[in-house]
Structure 1
Amino acid sequence: MIKIENLEKNYSKEVKIGPIDLEIPKGGFTSIIGPNGAGKSTTLLMVGRLLDKDGGNIFIEENNIDTTKTDLLAKKIAILRQENHFVTKLTVRQLVGFGRFPYSKGRINTEDEEIISKYIDFLGLKELENRYLDELSGGQRQRVYVAMVLAQETDYVLLDEPLNNLDIRRSQEMLNHLYKITREFKKTIVTVLHDINFAAKYSDYILCMKEGQVIKFGKPEEVMRKEVLSEIFDTDIEIINGPHGPVAIY
């Protein structure tokens, strides 16, 4: 479980995140949705300890992220941010291998190689594993970044807009992969998504944010309601029943 208590980030009197109190259950797929500027990525980065908070506490199970040693926390939670800057003369396999650093400290062993291969295969990167990053498309690189984070083998995986640079078909493929990971590998995935309907289709829980506040947290059927989504996005949103559940029309 990820437990957030009285979390705050203050940029100015007018722009702030929180206070946020929230518990995200262990297991399954949780999406964070909301308009631009809602605080989705900021909140995720604070949970992942990539951004300093101005108040409150965050626990990954029993571990307070403020007092837990970095080495231990890196074996509990992994995060992929939107902007990634890696040396382009790294191969796919070398970059995915970076995910093993909390364990290997740069000395990759046989077990590490097996884990790297597992996620390269899982994300369909086998044919690309010896190619350099600058030889890949944006969508291919995005899959490599996700494989790197998964190779960290943590129970909790935070992904900030993992569908960046992906078209609709590749986005669906990525979400299918991530959903399978929560089931087959028993991971807890928390991700920022912009597409409401993708969130509804794949999520076990949806966190709705607006202006730095949590507006709603619940199962898709609790969130996918006209009154909830229309309030969050400040526009009239209709809900219809599709073959896979409720669908937002906007």
Structure 2
Amino acid sequence: MSKLSIDILTLFPEMFSGVLNSSILGKAQEKQLVQFHLINFRDYATNKHKQVDDYPYGGGGGMVLKPEPLFYAVEDRLSQLPTHVKPRILLMSPQGERFTQQKAEELARENHLIFICGHYEGYDERIRQYLVTDEISIGDYVLTGGELAAMVIIDSVVRLREGVLGNQSSPKDDSFSTGLLEYPQYTRPADFRGMKVPEVLLSGHHERIKEWRRRQALYRTWQRRPDLLKNYPLSDQEKAWIAEWEKQKEKQKKDVKRQ
């Protein structure tokens, strides 16, 4: 797999230095598996004051990012690339598609991504209509700017690239990658202050461990994120487990009422 190139258009490039140069992202750069290019799109403003925002037509509160600086910045970057390279251009926006692990896996298959991080009240609509390929939100809330959202997505995507993590099987078992939350994990010591690791994990019996993990992942998802099970293809065994838990849950409710 070729190196992943990520361009980040932002008014605050200094916000990224610690994140991009630390931990997994820093190591990925050292291995030359990813390269980052920070672009301050204020440099592409067309007036002497380097203004990148303006009041919205029709009135209203706040300022809106102008189209020229972002169009010019993206076009300049594209002009530096081979003609066959067609990057995905990602707009960070609370109005965008909800970011998921499946979206991260999709983006991890690309070789070039361009992130646009906005500030102020919003973007000129022409940026959405004519410049970007994807509009992404990391959740149903509003941030001061798109930088933090871009950092979250970059971390989520880069770790999925081949060679970035020491154990390449690790991301396959992550929460959401299988459609379920991840099963509980334990390490040494086997007994810490009387809190013991489940015996099955110490047994060395791989099939039993596999079934235990499958059951625990399903149980944790059923408990915490039952919405994820709506479209999950349950096996007969998994349906039986859920029926058992539902029965236990109802019994507990009745017991509480009797008290």
Whether the TM-score (by the shorter chain) exceeds 0.5 is no
In terms of fraction of residues, the more strand-rich structure is 1
Name the TM tier (shorter chain): under 0.3
Greater RCO between the two (CA within 8 Å, min separation 6)?
1
TM-score between the two structures when normalised by the length of structure 1:
0.24
